Amino acid sequence: MTDRSALKRAFLNTTDWATAQIEAMTGDASNRRYDRLYLPGKTAILMDAAPERGEDVRPFIRIAEHLLNHGFSAPKILARQVEQGFLVLEDLGNDRFKEVIEATPACEGELYRAAVDALVTLHNCPLPDDLPDYGPDTMVKVCDPVFSEYRQTVAPGPVDQAQNLFDRALTDLLQRYVGPPSVLAQRDYHAENLLWLPDRNGVARVGMLDFQDAVAGHPAYDLVSMLQDARRDVAPDTEATMIAHYLNATGLDAQAFHAAYWALGLQRNLRIVGVFARLATKLGKPHYVDFIPRVWAYIERGLTRPEFTEFRAVLRETVPTPTEDVLRKLKP
């Protein structure tokens, strides 16, 4: 038994789940680990977020409690050991949007409209105190892996000049088209982190997971997360319909919102290319390379907008296009 296993067992022994059967769940791209706990007639989820792996459960607790207090379906926290990084969470089930839509494609519109409605409601809620701002400087900084992981792997060599050019162009783009942070942005609001709970009412029908990195951001950010999904194809018609649904519900200026949406799409998807390169080359998860063509296709669609002409030229000069030969270099 490893030390971490012993700590987990000691924690569970202090809870109502001491005698539960434990079944490991499939992990995600993070350092967190999850188990499903079984007792007669009920289940729960154990989150193992080891501090020595850079994890901290306090942001998760904070955002979960905020969402729950405003009527959303985040997992209730049933037990906690904050210092050691253990939480027992309400089990919201297995009906992730991704699998529900795969089983019944005709329901995609209903589920996505419900998720958009949840965002509309969330964006009318007050922000938690001291939520980090996700403004242009931060958004440019988190794109560093595009150079440190992606470009350095596929085209090794000095990158400082290219990265400085890229950073200036992206900063200018975001400052020009993305307004100041104003709403809670979960940052990973997509079909693998949303659960369909049709027995609940209103916004509570959308179960929310993986929100511990939430920030104060632009209202379009989580729409980009959902509609430019790295892990599943979302039809352009569906994307356009859901953006229109959000705008109809909020009354925001459509032209400004669309410009912000596509600018944020460029930022988010470029960051993802770098992160997926790191997951493949440094963390032994080469299957993430297979998502990059889809992500790059979103980037290409954004680059067709006439207001992004200057940024398009800089991107072509500084970041290699992920051709088949380039992608092969990312797989060990």
Residue 228 belongs to domain with CATH number: 3.90.1200.10
In a shared domain, residues 76 and 102:
no
For residue 203, count other CB atoms closer than 10 A to its CB.
20
Q: Alpha-carbon dihedral of residues 20, 24, 27, 32, nearest 10 degrees? A: 40
- Show which of 51, 67, 90 is a domain's final residue: 90
Strand partners, 183: 217
In a shared domain, residues 127 and 17:
no
Task: Say if CB 151 and CB 159 are below 8 A apart.
Answer: yes
Q: What is the CATH number of the domain that holds 18?
A: 3.30.200.20
In a shared domain, residues 159 and 297:
yes
In a shared domain, residues 263 and 194:
yes
In a shared domain, residues 261 and 119:
yes
In a shared domain, residues 128 and 82:
no
In a shared domain, residues 219 and 142:
yes
Task: State the residue range of the domain holding 68.
Answer: 3-90
- Show which of 90, 125, 160 is a domain's final residue: 90
Query: For every one of its 332 residues, what pLDDT tens digit does the chain have, with 9 covering 90 and above?
Result: 468 999 999 999 999 999 999 999 876 556 889 999 999 999 999 999 999 988 999 999 999 999 999 999 999 999 999 999 999 999 999 999 999 999 999 999 999 999 999 999 999 999 998 899 999 999 999 999 999 999 999 999 999 999 999 999 999 999 999 988 899 999 999 999 999 999 999 999 999 999 999 999 999 999 999 999 999 999 999 999 999 999 999 999 999 999 999 999 999 999 999 999 999 999 999 999 999 999 999 999 999 999 999 999 999 999 999 999 999 999 97
In a shared domain, residues 76 and 128:
no
Q: Using N-to-C axis directions, what is the helix angle for 309-318 and 292-303, rounded to 10°?
A: 140
What global pTM score does this model have? 0.94
What's the domain count of the chain?
A: 2
- Show which of 65, 90, 115 is a domain's final residue: 90
In a shared domain, residues 45 and 186:
no
The pair of three-digit structure tokens given for residue 36, joined into one six-digit string: 């499903």
* Helices and strands in the chain: count of H runs, count of E runs: 14, 9
Q: What angle do CA 173, 225, 43 make, to 5 degrees?
A: 155
